[in-house]
Amino acid sequence: MNAHKVFAETIDGMKSVNLMKKLGMKTEGIQRSQTKDSSGNWADVYFYGLLSEDRQ
């Protein structure tokens, strides 16, 4: 695909963030206590992106 940008978000600060970094995605921001997780606790949302010029 010829996408300009791929974007992802997660509340999993460990496994998903590590996967996004492994895929070459870069941190675009964190929204603190933005949503509730499945247990009803407030959770941060992590945003990652990969631009077409980032891919080598």
Residue 19: domain span? 1-26
Is 40 a member of any domain?
Answer: no
Is 52 a member of any domain?
Answer: no
Counted domains in the chain = 1
Is 4 a member of any domain?
Answer: yes
Could you read off the pLDDT of 4-25 as tens digits, one per residue? Answer: 999 999 999 899 999 999 999 9
Is 7 a member of any domain?
Answer: yes
Could you read off the pLDDT of 24-41 as tens digits, one per residue? Answer: 999 999 999 999 999 999
**Residue 1 scores a pLDDT above 80:** no
Is 56 a member of any domain?
Answer: no
Is 12 a member of any domain?
Answer: yes
* Over residues 37-54, mean pLDDT: 95
CA distance 6 to 17: 15
pTM here? Answer: 0.86
